[in-house]
Amino acid sequence: MPNLYDLAYDLEKGLRESAEFQGLKQAYDAVMADEAAKQMFDNFRQTQIVLQQKQMQGEEITEEEIEQARKTVELVQQHPQISKLMEQEQHLNTVINDVSRIITKPLEELYSENS
Amino acid sequence: MPNLYDLAYDLEKGLRESAEFQGLKQAYDAVMADEAAKQMFDNFRQTQIVLQQKQMQGEEITEEEIEQARKTVELVQQHPQISKLMEQEQHLNTVINDVSRIITKPLEELYSENS
Ligand SMILES: [Ca+2]
Ligand SMILES: [Ca+2]
């Protein structure tokens, strides 16, 4: 009988050593080592978190806030190191979503058998 | 360099063969094989899905709906096969949440380094 926790730790170790994670780590460390880039990235993150929370709580998001968020995105996209970091994030997110889909497939299959 | 997809498929295979998944499958198949139990379980599921969707869309949930949902839960909990199925679901959910936490730990660690 396989131990799921052992297999999960194998996957965690693999993730840590993967090109995808190492690429993200390099990009992240580069941004964090540059004070101006770090601040810009933190602002961007903070703006996103605030908007997400409002959305989840069903609060109204004003046009000013949407415009502000759009500008923050534009700003970070023009910063080479931050846009590199965001690319790496997206890449790893794709992989993690794929992994999630793979490991929840047995459950999905089970529950679709009789519906 | 480890291949994350290979590791994910190992975990998926392990999950499929695990005592936790096999226990859930047995409980699920038992409920589905009993027409009355299947209908009761489907009703319960449907009620939950409707309430979750309302909650996510920020719609108001009436006291009648809460009371109705509470009754549906009580009903299924009294059904031995369905309550067994729900126990197995909770058990596997715990395992899957643990696995999720394990494999997202590298990311969490990375992002907490500089905050
Ligand atoms: Ca089906
Ligand atoms: Ca920290």
Ramachandran region, residue A39 (left: φ > 0; alpha: ψ -120 to 50; beta: rest) = alpha
Substitution target in B89, B99, B111 with the highest count of A β-carbons within 10 Å is B99
Does A9 contact chain B (CB < 8 Å)? yes
What confidence score (pLDDT) does residue B56 get?
A: 84
- Chain B residues whose CB is inside 8 A of the A89 CB are none
The pair of structure tokens assigned to A58 is: 């069903």
Contact B12 A58 (CB under 8 A): no
Per-10-residue mean pLDDT for chain B, 115 residues long?
Answer: 87 94 96 95 92 88 91 93 95 92 93 73
- CB burial class (10 A; 0-12, 13-18, 19+) of residue B58? exposed
- With a CB cutoff of 8 Å and minimum separation 6, the contacts of B85 are B24, B27, B28, B30, B31, B41
Task: Give me the residue from B8, B20, B95 closest to A11, CB to CB.
Answer: B8
In CATH, what number does A4-112 get?
1.20.1500.10
Lowest-pLDDT choice from A13-17, A72-76, B109-113? B109-113
Pick from A4, A17, A112: which is nearest to B12 by CA?
A4
